[in-house]
């Protein structure tokens, strides 16, 4: 069944719309969905940080210039004796700074000396408290500005004393510059992300290519091809491939066994059916009644053999396909006793000494009653067929580890080289005799294995003994 | 004795019918579950042998239905191999015995004899047990040379064994049959009784065989 599903899976099934496409459908999509948001978040944070940094840099740069201008203005004022700063200086300042520059100079007693009449008012009033330059933000006629206020001592007879110079500048250009810087950096980041995404999208596809090759390897398989997949698999998929190969191997083994069973079964059934036909025809041409009775008896015996064989084939089928129910605790002694009782009349009728014994303390075991009955009956059947009329003992034994059913007889021992092979299907001690069909012990083993136990031909110095052992 | 055989496998049904007729039973052959119900509820039978898988209705339904219309006579179910659950269902539904296919004709005949004996009225007849004749009601056993000298307990023992002829009877079952159900009996009391009866029967060609650990079997076809 599994083979069929694996080998005939349709090509487009992976993309079928009723799958959960987002997460279940594609590994590539999964990887992409995990990585892309992360990248975008990182890029956004980096861009924001760069914007802040750019703004700070620009501020420092402009502040330094503003301070230089303030110093220049104060010198100029001294040189021109309180006159207006030369137009040339102002023009050159404006063109180098980009934004308009304004200044205001105030004398030691607070009197206006030169410059624009109304300077922006700083956080500490019109005069900074110390000699250190004071930078501040403000507005001037509605426009945002950056200002510096500076106190300088001028040794001049006219305006001698502490002079306050305030220089300010609109910050439009500066703002524009930081925004520009931030935009560039954002552009770079998203360019890098785009490139990474592109590489990721195609790189993942490339990385996953070995999986596609595996899929093809499975797809092109015919139904009977159960050889292992030999294509190289990436490390991550190796265990999957190993599991599949192991499944293929087991499937192949089971199919081979089944094929062998069917072909053997057909072969085995041919014999009894041929003899049925021959004996029926012989009966039809019997010259007198006693002969007829003899031939019909032979016919009945042949039919019995054919019946036994089909029954065994069914048991085999049952043993190998039935899901053994191990949940139930069953009474192994009762099961073995029923099987022993069922075959007792036949044994006693042939004057075979026949006994049933219990060893150890019986306890319930987990098992399938029907299957275990079948197994025990098969062992007894075996002893009846091949035991040459020697005593048969059925023993149910319990010890600490296991429960066992042993069927032993004092008949001919099983040759050493056959003790294991005899459990294979259609292997018999004497292939030329037609008493058995070679399935009984195979069934026994199959059932024992299904119970997690085992079946074995015991090593005895005389006679033959077979054992089913079941775990606790 | 009139036996109804309800089986849709025609060759098998014919073979069973022939085997029964050869032994002097009257046989009604039916192959359909519904027809069989109608026939059995109307005419009855002394014993019915029915398959589980029947056209019309299953053997279990047939069984329940004919019990409902008052049939008290014994019913023997035939089941396919391996249907343990079916066996239990069959016996619960009121079957008296079951036989698993494929079966030996001798096994079927033995069951029919045993079930026939359970039916009252039939027991007045003398039963043939190998070379012996057993008068179950009169509790006497005859060899070709005349009545056998048996104790009351030996007769009870023989009755128990012959009722299940062809099958193993456990010591407990024998103790119940001879001494009464639940009687406190030593196991070797049964063994002693069996060996005494065995000695007497061996002289007339009937054997009681022992399967140690299981019980005893009356083998009337010995020799």
What residue ranges do the domains of chain B occupy?
2-122, 125-219
The answer to whether A341 and A348 have CB atoms below 8 angstroms apart is no
- CB-CB neighbors (< 8 A) of B111 in chain A: none
**Spatial separation of the C-alpha atoms in residues A319 and A375, rounded to whole Å:** 9
Tokens in use for A184?
A: 């560039």
CA-based nearest distance B97→chain A, Å: 15
Domain boundary pick from A264, A296, A317: A317
A247-251: Cβ within 8 A, 24+ apart: A247/A2, A248/A3, A251/A2, A251/A3, A251/A226
- Residue A135 pairs in a beta bridge with A148
Q: For residue A36, is it within any domain?
A: yes
CA A177 to chain centre: 53
Domain boundary pick from A261, A285, A317: A317
Interface probe, candidates B15, B106, B168, chain A, greatest A C-beta count within 10 A? B168
Q: pLDDT at position A199, please?
A: 86
Cα nearest neighbour of B168 on chain A: A341
- Range among A248-257, A438-447, B96-105, B204-213 with highest mean pLDDT value: B204-213
Q: Tell me whether residues A344 and B84 touch, CB distance under 8 A.
A: no
Its domain, for residue A188, covers 1-11+18-207
Compute the count of residue pairs across chains A and B with CB atoms less than 8 Å apart: 56
Q: pLDDT at position A332, please?
A: 92
Answer yes or no: do A146 and A171 share one domain: yes
Residues in chain A whose beta carbon is closer than 8 A to a beta carbon of chain B?
A: 304, 307, 311, 314-315, 318, 337, 340-341, 344-345, 347-349, 351, 354-358, 369-370, 374, 394
Parallel/antiparallel/unpaired status of strands A329-330 and B146-147: unpaired
Answer yes or no: do A163 and A139 share one domain: yes
Q: pLDDT at position A22, please?
A: 47
Answer yes or no: do A355 and A452 share one domain: yes
Q: For residue A423, is it within any domain?
A: yes
ipTM score of the complex? 0.70
The beta-carbon neighbor of B211 closest among A307, A311, A348 is: A348
Q: pLDDT at position A210, please?
A: 81
**Coil, strand or helix at A236:** helix
Q: Taking all residues of chain B, what is their mean pLDDT, rounded to a whole number?
A: 84
Answer yes or no: do A6 and A83 share one domain: yes
Q: Is the pLDDT of residue B1 over 80?
A: yes
Q: Tell me whether residues A307 and B102 touch, CB distance under 8 A.
A: yes
In chain B, pLDDT over 70 holds for what percent of residues? Answer: 89
**Coil, strand or helix at B217:** strand
Q: pLDDT at position A256, please?
A: 81
Q: For residue A263, is it within any domain?
A: no
Cis peptide before B117 (omega within 30 of 0): no
> Which chain B residues in 105-124 lie under 8 Å from chain A, judged by CB atoms?
none
Question: How much is the pTM?
Answer: 0.56
The third-level CATH classification (topology) of the domain covering B2-122 is Rossmann fold (3.40.50)
User: In chain B, how many H helices and how many E strands?
Assistant: 8, 11
**Spatial separation of the C-alpha atoms in residues A442 and B12, rounded to whole Å:** 30
**Spatial separation of the C-alpha atoms in residues A272 and A248, rounded to whole Å:** 36
Answer yes or no: do A298 and A365 share one domain: no
Query: How many independent structural domains does chain A possess?
Result: 3
The beta-carbon neighbor of B82 closest among A304, A318, A340 is: A318
Q: Tell me whether residues A370 and B82 touch, CB distance under 8 A.
A: yes
Q: pLDDT at position B195, please?
A: 93
Answer yes or no: do A59 and A89 share one domain: yes
Q: Choose among A103, A110, A96: nearest CA to A76.
A: A103
Answer yes or no: do A293 and A411 share one domain: no
CA atoms within 13 A on the CB side of A464: 24
Answer yes or no: do A306 and A405 share one domain: no
CA-based nearest distance B39→chain A, Å: 32
**Spatial separation of the C-alpha atoms in residues A445 and A260, rounded to whole Å:** 17
Largest CA distance in chain B: 54
Q: For residue A457, is it within any domain?
A: yes
The third-level CATH classification (topology) of the domain covering B125-219 is Arc Repressor Mutant, subunit A (1.10.10)
Q: What is the pLDDT along chain A (472 residues), one digit of tens a residue?
A: 334 444 444 444 444 444 444 445 677 777 778 888 888 888 888 888 888 888 888 888 888 888 888 888 777 776 666 565 666 676 776 666 677 788 888 877 777 877 777 777 776 665 666 677 888 888 888 888 888 888 877 776 666 678 888 888 888 777 787 788 778 888 888 888 888 888 888 888 888 888 888 888 888 888 778 888 887 777 878 888 888 888 888 888 878 877 877 777 777 777 778 878 888 888 888 888 888 988 888 888 888 878 877 877 777 777 776 666 776 788 999 999 999 998 898 899 888 999 999 999 999 998 888 888 889 999 999 899 888 889 999 999 999 889 999 999 988 888 888 888 888 877 666 655 555 667 788 889 988 988 889 999 988 878 889 999 998 7
Q: pLDDT at position A354, please?
A: 94
Answer yes or no: do A199 and A74 share one domain: yes
Q: For residue A216, is it within any domain?
A: no
Give me the mean pLDDT over the B84-112 stretch.
76
Answer yes or no: do A353 and A386 share one domain: yes
- CB-CB neighbors (< 8 A) of B209 in chain A: 348-349, 351
What band does B223 get if pLDDT is binned at 50, 70 and 90?
A: very low
Answer yes or no: do A279 and A338 share one domain: no
Measured between CB atoms, does B11 come within 8 Å of chain A?
no
* Main-chain phi, psi angles of A178, to 5 degrees: -65, -40
């Amino acid at each position: 069944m599994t083979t069929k599903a694996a080998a005939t899976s349709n090509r487009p099934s992976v993309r079928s719309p009723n799958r959960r496409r987002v997460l279940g459908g594609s590994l590539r999509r999964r990887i992409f969905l995990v990585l892309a948001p992360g990248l975008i978040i990182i890029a956004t944070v980096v861009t924001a940080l760069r914007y802040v940094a750019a703004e700070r840099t620009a501020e420092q740069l402009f502040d330094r210039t503003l301070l230089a201008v303030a110093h220049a203005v104060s010198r100029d004022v001294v040189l021109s004796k309180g006159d207006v700063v030369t137009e040339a200086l102002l023009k050159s300042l404006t063109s180098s700074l980009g934004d308009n520059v304004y200044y205001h100079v105030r004398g030691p007693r607070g009197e206006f000396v030169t410059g624009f009449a109304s300077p922006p008012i700083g956080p500490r009033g019109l005069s900074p408290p110390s000699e250190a330059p004071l930078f501040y933000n403000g507005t001037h006629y509605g426009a945002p500005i950056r200002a510096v206020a500076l106190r300088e001592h001028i040794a001049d007879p006219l305006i001698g004393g502490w002079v306050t110079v305030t220089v300010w500048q609109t910050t439009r250009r500066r703002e524009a510059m930081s925004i520009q810087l931030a935009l560039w950096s954002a552009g770079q980041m998203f360019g890098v992300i785009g490139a990474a995404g592109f590489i990721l999208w195609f790189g993942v596809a490339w990385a996953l290519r070995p999986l596609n090759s595996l899929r093809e390897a499975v797809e092109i398989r015919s139904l009977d091809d159960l050889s292992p997949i030999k294509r190289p698999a990436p490390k991550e998929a190796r265990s999957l491939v190993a599991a599949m190969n192991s499944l293929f191997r087991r499937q192949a083994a089971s199919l081979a066994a089944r094929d062998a069973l069917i072909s053997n079964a057909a072969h085995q059934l041919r014999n009894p059916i041929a003899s049925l036909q021959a004996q029926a025809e012989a009966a039809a041409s019997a010259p007198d009644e006693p002969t007829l009775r003899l031939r019909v008896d032979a016919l009945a015996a042949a039919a019995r053999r054919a019946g036994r064989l089909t029954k065994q084939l069914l048991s085999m089928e049952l043993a190998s396909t039935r899901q053994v129910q191990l949940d139930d605790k069953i009474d192994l002694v009762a099961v073995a006793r029923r099987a022993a009782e069922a075959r007792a009349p036949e044994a006693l009728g042939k004057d075979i000494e026949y006994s049933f014994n219990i060893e150890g303390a019986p306890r319930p075991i987990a098992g399938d009653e029907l299957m275990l009955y079948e197994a025990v009956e098969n062992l007894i059947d075996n002893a009846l067929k091949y035991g040459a009329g020697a005593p048969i003992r059925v023993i149910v034994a319990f010890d600490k580890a296991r429960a066992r059913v042993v069927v032993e007889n004092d008949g001919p021992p099983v040759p050493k080289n056959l003790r294991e092979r005899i459990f294979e299907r259609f292997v018999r001690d004497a292939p030329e005799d037609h008493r058995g069909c070679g399935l009984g012990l195979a069934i026994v083993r199959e059932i024992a294995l299904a119970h997690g136990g085992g079946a074995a031909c015991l090593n005895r110095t005389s006679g033959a003994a077979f054992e089913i052992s079941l775990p606790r | 004795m009139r036996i109804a055989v309800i089986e849709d496998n025609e060759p098998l049904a014919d073979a069973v019918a022939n085997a029964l007729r050869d032994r002097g039973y009257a046989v009604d052959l039916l192959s359909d579950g519904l027809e069989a119900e109608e026939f059995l509820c109307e005419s009855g039978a002394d014993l019915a042998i029915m398959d589980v898988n029947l056209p019309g209705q299953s053997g279990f339904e047939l069984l329940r239905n004919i019990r409902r219309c008052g049939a008290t006579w014994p019913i023997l179910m035939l089941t396919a191999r391996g249907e343990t659950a079916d066996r239990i269902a069959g016996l619960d539904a009121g079957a008296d015995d079951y036989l698993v296919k494929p079966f030996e004709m001798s096994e079927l005949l033995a069951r029919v004899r045993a079930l026939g004996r359970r039916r009252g009225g039939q027991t007045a007849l003398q039963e043939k047990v190998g070379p012996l004749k057993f008068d179950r009601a009169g509790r006497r056993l005859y060899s070709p040379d005349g009545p056998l000298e048996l104790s009351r307990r030996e007769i009870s023992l023989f009755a128990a064994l012959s009722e299940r002829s062809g099958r193993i009877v456990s010591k407990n079952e024998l103790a119940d049959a001879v001494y009464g159900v639940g009687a406190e009996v030593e196991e070797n009391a049964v063994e002693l009784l069996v060996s005494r009866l065995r000695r007497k029967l061996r002289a007339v060609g009937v054997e009681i065989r022992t399967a140690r650990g299981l019980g005893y079997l009356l083998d009337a076809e010995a020799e």
